[in-house]
Structure 1
Amino acid sequence: MEAYRLSREMYASTLSGKGAAMKGARWNSIGVEMIYTASNRSLAMAEVAVHFTLATLPVDYMMMTLFIPDNISLLKLNIGDLPIDWNIFPHPNATQAVGDKFIAENQYCVLQIPSVVTRGDFNLLINPKHSEFSRIKILEVEKFPFDKRVFK
Structure 2
Amino acid sequence: MMVYRLAYRDYVADITGMGARLYGGRWNPKGVACLYASAHISLALLEKFVHARGKEDMTGLMLLSIDIPTDDDSVYHVDESRMVTDWAANFDYSQWLGKQLLAEPGFVAFSVPSAIVPTERNIIINPQAARFDAVKFHNPTLFDVDARLSDRLV
TM-score (norm 1): 0.91
Distance 1:15 1:81 in 2: 30
What displacement does 1:70 show? 1.6
Query: In the alignment, which residue of structure 2 is the partner of 1:145?
Result: 144
Distance 2:54 2:25 in 1: 22
CA RMSD in angstroms, aligned pairs only:
1.6
TM-score (norm 2): 0.90
Distance 2:7 2:135 in 1: 17
Distance 1:70 1:104 in 2: 20
- Structure 2 segments unaligned to the other structure (5+ residues): none
- Deviations along 1:25-83, one digit per CA (max 9) or x if unpaired, are 10000000111110010011011000125534242110000111222611111221222
Distance 2:75 2:91 in 1: 24
Identity of aligned residues (%): 28
What displacement does 1:117 show? 1.3
Count of matched residue positions in the alignment of Structure 1 and Structure 2: 150
State whether residues 104 and 129 of structure 2, in contact with CA within 8 Å, keep that contact through their aligned partners in structure 1: no
2:37 maps to a residue whose letter is: T
What is the 5 A alignment of 1:2-151?
A: 2-71=2-71, 73-88=74-89, 91-151=90-150
Distance 1:140 1:117 in 2: 27
Distance 1:140 1:41 in 2: 15
The 4+ residue runs of structure 1 with deviation greater than 6 A are none
- Structure 1 segments unaligned to the other structure (5+ residues): none
State whether residues 110 and 127 of structure 1, in contact with CA within 8 Å, keep that contact through their aligned partners in structure 2: yes
